[in-house]
Structure 1
Amino acid sequence: MAISPAAAAAPFRFDRTWTFPVTAGAFWALIERTEDFPRWWRWLRTFDADGLYRGARARFEVRAPLPYTLRFEVQVVELVERAVVGTTVAGDLAGPARLELLEVPGGCRARLCWALTPTNPAIGRLARVVRPLLAWSHDQIVRAGVRQFEQVVTAAAR
C-alpha cells in the first residue's frame, strides 16, 4: 500500500560533487562496466543491469548500515556520453537522479544529485520520525561508494 501524497515524507535530497584524477572519457569507460558494480560496491545485495544506454534498466537491493534493505529500479531516461546520465528511480524510494561529468584540469568533476521520496510505507513512517538517522545511513553508503569507486579509478589510472 502506497503512502498518500499528503502523508508522504519529504524527499531525501542529495547534491554533491567530487573530482577524480581521470578524464571524463576514462570515468565513463568505468561506469559503462555495469557488470562490475557488485564487485566495486559490496553494499549491493543484488544487482541486475542491462548496460548503460538510454532506456537501460537496473534492478538492485542496497543493504544500509541500519538493519534494512532498499529495493530499486533505475531507468536511464537521458544519456549524453561522457557527460550526463539522467534517470528515474522507482521502488522503496522514487524520483529523479542525475550524474553530470565535466572535464577539469587534472581530471573530471562528477556531480551526483537526486530527490527521492520514500514510497515504502515503513520507510516513510521512519523518515518522519528518525529522518536524521536515515540521512546518516544514506551518507554512510554514499561515502563508502565514493571511496570504493576512487579505488577503482586509481587502479584504472595506473
Structure 2
Amino acid sequence: MDRSDRRDRWDRWSRYRFRSVWDLDAPPALVYAALEQVEEYPSWWRQVRRVEPVDERTGTAYIRSVLPYEIRVTATERLRDPGRGLLEVALGGDLYGWARWTVRPRGGPGGDHTRALYEQEVEVRHPLMRRLSPPARPVFRLNHALMMRAGRRGLAARLAGPPEAV
C-alpha cells in the first residue's frame, strides 16, 4: 500500500455522517424560530459556548461537548425556508461540510408537536481530532450523541418557558 492509499484510508476515517431526531412538544413554527436564531444557541445549548456573527449570513460557533477540546465551526447560510421548515448551512473551520434542520409537525391534532431532524455530513479538519479519528471514532460519535441529547433537552426547556424566551 503506497502513501496516497494510506492517506485516502485515513481521510475516510475523518468523515462523519450524523442524524438526530428531536421530538418536541411545541408548534413547528416556534421550533423553527428558535433554531434559526443561531446566536441564541448558547443560552439553551450549553455545548455551544459562543457564537460570533461574521455577517448577515455567516457566524462562527465555538463548541465543546464532553471531550476536553473546543472546535471552531464557521457556518454560512445556504437555505432558509420557513414554509418548508428547512435550515441549511455550509460548514468550514474545524469541520468541513454541511448541516441541515428539517422541522415538521408530529402526530396528533392541534399542531403542538414537532419533529426536528438534524442531518450533518462533515470531514474533520481539527488537527488533533483528525489524528485521533481512526481509534477514537466511537468516542467522537458518542460525544456528538451526548451533545445532541443535551441540545434537545435545552431547546425543550426553552420552549416550555415563557413565550418571550423564544
TM-score range relative to shorter protein = 0.7 to 0.9
Q: Alignment partner of 2:161: what SS?
A: helix
How many pairs align? 152
* Distance in 2 (alpha carbons) for counterparts of 1:50 and 1:29: 20
Q: Please give the TM-score of this superposition, normalised by the length of structure 2.
A: 0.80
| Structure 1 outlier segments of 4+, above 3 Å | 32-35
Q: Is the 8 A contact 2:89 2:100 kept in 1?
A: yes
* Distance in 2 (alpha carbons) for counterparts of 1:107 and 1:147: 15
Please state if 1:72 is matched with 2:73. yes
1:150 is matched with which residue? Answer: 156
Q: How large is the Cα RMSD of the aligned pairs?
A: 2.3
Q: Please give the TM-score of this superposition, normalised by the length of structure 1.
A: 0.84
1:86-142 per-position Cα deviation (integer Å, ceiling 9, x unaligned): 111111111111100112334221110011111123211111121111111111111
Gaps of 5+ in 1: none
Gaps of 5+ in 2: 1-5
* Distance in 1 (alpha carbons) for counterparts of 2:18 and 2:39: 25
Q: Is the 8 A contact 1:118 1:124 kept in 2?
A: yes
* Distance in 2 (alpha carbons) for counterparts of 1:142 and 1:153: 16
Q: Is the 8 A contact 2:23 2:116 kept in 1?
A: yes
1:112 is matched with which residue? Answer: 118
Q: Alignment partner of 1:37: what SS?
A: helix
Q: Is the 8 A contact 1:22 1:157 kept in 2?
A: no
Once the two structures are aligned, what percentage of the paired residues are identical? 22
Larger proportion of helix: 2
Q: Name which one, 1 or 2, has greater alpha-carbon Rg.
A: 2
